[in-house]
Chain A
Amino acid sequence: MSIKKKIGLGLMLVFFVIQFIRPDRNVNPYSNAEISTVLNLPTNVDGVLKNTCYDCHSNNTNYPWYSNIQPAGWFLARHIKKGKEELNFNEFDTYSQRRMISKLKSVLNSIKDGSMPLLSYTLLHGNARFSERNKALVQDWLTSKIDSLSSQKKTY
């Protein structure tokens, strides 16, 4: 066997073997700490958030086909882990009121400056991209919610 053939065969072997190393899936039962149980979420805003954010910021990911192919699945798992640590819409009720306000502000800021949704995500999930209309819808809702929550803030 020539060296080239051996290397090719080796790579194929590695690719074959890594398919067996599969990360745990982000699939969980319904949580009653979900954001819609705490904040009054209009259906259209709820829909946009679910469509654009929930794959990485909730306890349930709608997995694309390529997640079954490694190493793509590994990258996804890492993104989801980081995303959930940062903000989890399914566990929103576990945040203190201040933290809720901070989280909403951060969501608003990252939508405004375009850092979210991640480009690497929208490139592969075209339907998760914000339309101008949806973007305005979510931003308006966030702004008014932040204001109303801030005015209710407990004083000590």
Chain B
Amino acid sequence: MKSLLIIITAITTILSSCGDQKSNTHNTDKNSDSLNNSRSKSDTAKVQEYSLNDVTTAYLQLKNALVSDNSKEAASAGKKLSDAMQALDKTSFKTDHEKLYNEVKDDINDHAEHINSNPNNIDHQREHFDMLSQDVYDLVNVARPAQTLYKDYCPMYNNKKGAVWLSETKEIKNPYYGKKMLTCGEVKEEIKK
């Protein structure tokens, strides 16, 4: 009888402490919400500092990491890219370009985040880099890059369907195969600043 009483008390204590815990997590949620708010406020203040140039810089860093088969560095460049993309000030785009911006924004972010969250899977990073490159190309093609870029083409990737990438140098360095096929590919277009 005594032990039964102890068990019942224990259950009630645990149940009530569970309730407490729930409200506690709720509170911390609220706290982190307000934290996020203040963070996004400071982000808005910073928005002006971000431009398409930061997006291309992060993209090129990612490209060069893949050229050197460095998936860890590619992952961190992916993070930079999604940060730059999220903070990109769309008012810097002309109205007709804004449509394109809205169309590619989430897509670029998605790819950048996947690349960031797969630091040990370079094949997967390259799959996303392929889709990402087309978006970034369209973006810099309408908005003009801050530096001259080259649109390169690798005919082999994607089951020989081919894939493009952007580079800051005329010399071919293939990010899809790295050192396995470093100089494979061709320059398709020069995007002047």
Report B-chain residues with C-beta under 8 Å of the C-beta of A96.
102-104, 106-107
- Say whether A99 contacts B107, CB under 8 Å: yes
B interface residues with partner A (beta carbon < 8 Å)? 3, 7, 10-11, 14-15, 18, 96-97, 99-100, 102-104, 106-107, 110-111, 124, 127, 131, 135, 138, 141-142
Given A102-B110, A105-B131, A156-B142, is A17 in contact with B11 using a C-beta cutoff of 8 Å?
yes
Report B-chain residues with C-beta under 8 Å of the C-beta of A99.
106-107, 110
Total interface residues in chain A, CB < 8 Å: 19
Report B-chain residues with C-beta under 8 Å of the C-beta of A106.
127
**Residues 7-51 of chain A: 1 if any B CB is under 8 Å from the residue's CB, otherwise 0?**
001000100110011000000000000000000000000000000
- A139 vs B143: C-alpha distance when bound (angstroms): 36
Q: Chain A: interface secondary structure?
A: helix
Report B-chain residues with C-beta under 8 Å of the C-beta of A105.
127, 131
Given A97-B103, A98-B135, is A13 in contact with B18 using a C-beta cutoff of 8 Å?
no
Q: Chain B: interface secondary structure?
A: helix
- A96 vs B15: C-alpha distance when bound (angstroms): 46
Q: Which of B97, B104, B124 contacts A98 (CB 8 A)?
A: B104
- A156 vs B97: C-alpha distance when bound (angstroms): 8
Q: Which of A9, A17, A20, A98 contacts B107 (CB 8 A)?
A: A98
User: Which of A1, A96, A99 gathers most chain B CB within 10 Å?
Assistant: A99
- Min Cβ gap A77→B in Å is 15
- A13 vs B4: C-alpha distance when bound (angstroms): 12
A interface residues with partner B (beta carbon < 8 Å)? 1, 9, 13, 16-17, 20-21, 95-99, 101-102, 105-106, 109, 154, 156
- A16 vs B7: C-alpha distance when bound (angstroms): 12
**10 nearest A-B residue pairs (beta carbon):** A156-B100, A98-B107, A96-B103, A99-B107, A102-B131, A17-B14, A156-B142, A102-B107, A109-B127, A99-B106
- A99 vs B104: C-alpha distance when bound (angstroms): 8
- A20 vs B15: C-alpha distance when bound (angstroms): 9
Closest to A21 in B: B18
- A109 vs B7: C-alpha distance when bound (angstroms): 53
User: Which of B97, B102, B106 gathers most chain A CB within 10 Å?
Assistant: B106
- A96 vs B97: C-alpha distance when bound (angstroms): 15
- Min Cβ gap B23→A in Å is 14
Closest to A18 in B: B18
User: Which of B3, B97, B124 gathers most chain A CB within 10 Å?
Assistant: B124
- Say whether B99 contacts A156, CB under 8 Å: yes
Report A-chain residues with C-beta under 8 Å of the C-beta of B104.
96, 98
Report A-chain residues with C-beta under 8 Å of the C-beta of B3.
1
- A95 vs B99: C-alpha distance when bound (angstroms): 14
Q: Which of A1, A16, A154 contacts B103 (CB 8 A)?
A: A154
Report A-chain residues with C-beta under 8 Å of the C-beta of B18.
17, 20-21
- Say whether A13 contacts B100, CB under 8 Å: no
Closest to A109 in B: B127
Report A-chain residues with C-beta under 8 Å of the C-beta of B111.
102
- A125 vs B2: C-alpha distance when bound (angstroms): 46
